Amino acid sequence: MAENLLFNHLINGELDSCNTYIEEALNGGDHLVSFLSEMLYTAASIKGIKNEDFHPIIVMNCIKNIIGDNRQSPSKILLSYCIEICKDREIIDYNKQVNDQSSTEISNSSVFVGALEDAIQSADWEAVHEIMPKIYFVSDRSRSIVDTIADLGFQDIEENGLMIFHLLRAFNFKQKKSHVWTYASCLISKLKGRQLPKPSPKGKLKPDDILESITSYSAISTIVNFAAMSRVWEGEYVRLRSYKREISSWLDQSFSSNITSDHISKPSANPLKNNFVDIAEKIISKNSSKNIISRDIITLDALRYLKNRVGFHAFNSQVSHLLKK
């Protein structure tokens, strides 16, 4: 698949031209990987909507995760929904915007990462947009700019944590150096929504301290955010030490007074067979609004991860609830 060819069809609204790529992806292998990589890149290029609950990059990465349960025979319903996510959305060619600038002039500028960090922390967005291209070109378009922005974004996990996790995972999935700027731009657009708090002191809790009791929490958003932060904690990132500092502080604030295993429900004698691809297909096929489908797919992906982690502590009731909505 030629680089960004599918992206070009989507940005031009040529949805009928995407069917060929879906059919190729159904064969699995490299065709599937290329399709998912382009869809993640396209989702990162979608302009966010004010007060939008879930940016498309979150949903797209969740679908990628679930499709991974059966890579040999990928779901056509899930592949087709990848295209649907991009339908009627404004797709921005961030790379064209930055390449239109004079990279030679920018690369000769003197700039430091600390200046970008200070500008983001102080919400000086005019300075951010001036400094970002300089950092990008001076660093030879390395992913360090994405890591820098993510590090700051984790200072507000409730607002940014879920998106940062899925964006980092999406970027790690077969992405190219030419995609760095788009992912950085997507992330900075998210952070512009509100002032960041100051960095937090290191907390005492780790995700494993919460794992035994997480099924007792009724708020799905809490479970989803916890699953995302647990996965970040287990990841391999250059700035993981800083990420863990913010995550441990967030865990202390969110869970320290409620750690208990008294409410954990054991699986019933005939637990629901959690084929997550089938469940995702049913969620999509209910023809709910995109927002509801997004919420339920994101929830399903979190439950999928937690069920694999906690083993006998089943999430059958939560999964069943998704299917009944």
Residue 197 is assigned to a structural domain of this protein:
no
Domain count, the chain: 3
pTM of this prediction exceeds 0.85: yes
DSSP letter for each residue of 201-245: PP-S--HHHHHTTGGG---HHHHHHHHHHHHHHTS--TTHHHHHH
Alpha helices in the chain (DSSP H): 5-11, 19-25, 29-44, 56-67, 76-86, 94-99, 103-107, 113-121, 125-138, 144-153, 157-172, 180-191, 207-211, 220-233, 240-255, 276-285, 290-310, 316-324
Residue 109 is assigned to a structural domain of this protein:
yes
Residues 37-54 as b/e (b if ≥16 CB within 10 A, e otherwise) read bbbbbbbbbbebeeeeeb
Q: How high is the pLDDT of residue 295?
A: 95
**What residues pair up with 46 in beta bridges, in sequence order?**
91
| Angle between helical axes of 125-138 and 113-121 (0-180°, round to 10) | 160
Q: Which two tokens stand for residue 46?
A: 């979608």
Q: How high is the pLDDT of residue 6?
A: 93
CA 43 centroid distance within chain: 10
Q: How high is the pLDDT of residue 266?
A: 45
Output phi, psi for 100, to 5 deg.
-70, -20
Range of the domain at 145: 94-191
- Return d(Cα 249, Cα 205) in angstroms, integer: 8
Q: In this structure, are residues 299 and 322 in contact, taking their beta carbons and an 8 Å threshold?
A: yes
Q: How high is the pLDDT of residue 319?
A: 63
Q: Are residues 314 and 228 in the same domain?
A: yes
Q: Which of 54, 86, 118 is the last residue of a domain?
A: 86
Output phi, psi for 53, to 5 deg.
-65, -45
Q: Are residues 256 and 298 in the same domain?
A: yes
Contacts of 94 by beta carbon, 8 Å cutoff, 6+ apart? 45, 181, 182, 185, 186
Q: How high is the pLDDT of residue 318?
A: 65
Q: Are residues 62 and 152 in the same domain?
A: no
Residue 66 is assigned to a structural domain of this protein:
yes
Angle at 5 between CA 4 and CA 9, to 5 degrees: 115
Q: Which of 132, 164, 191 is the last residue of a domain?
A: 191
Residue 198 is assigned to a structural domain of this protein:
no
Q: Which residues of the chain register pLDDT less than 70?
A: 1-3, 102-110, 257-274, 311-325
Q: Are residues 320 and 211 in the same domain?
A: yes
Q: Which of 191, 215, 246 is the last residue of a domain?
A: 191
Q: How high is the pLDDT of residue 263?
A: 43
Q: How high is the pLDDT of residue 212?
A: 80
pLDDT in tens, 95-146: 988 877 755 556 556 678 999 999 999 999 999 999 999 999 988 899 999 9
Residue 217 is assigned to a structural domain of this protein:
yes
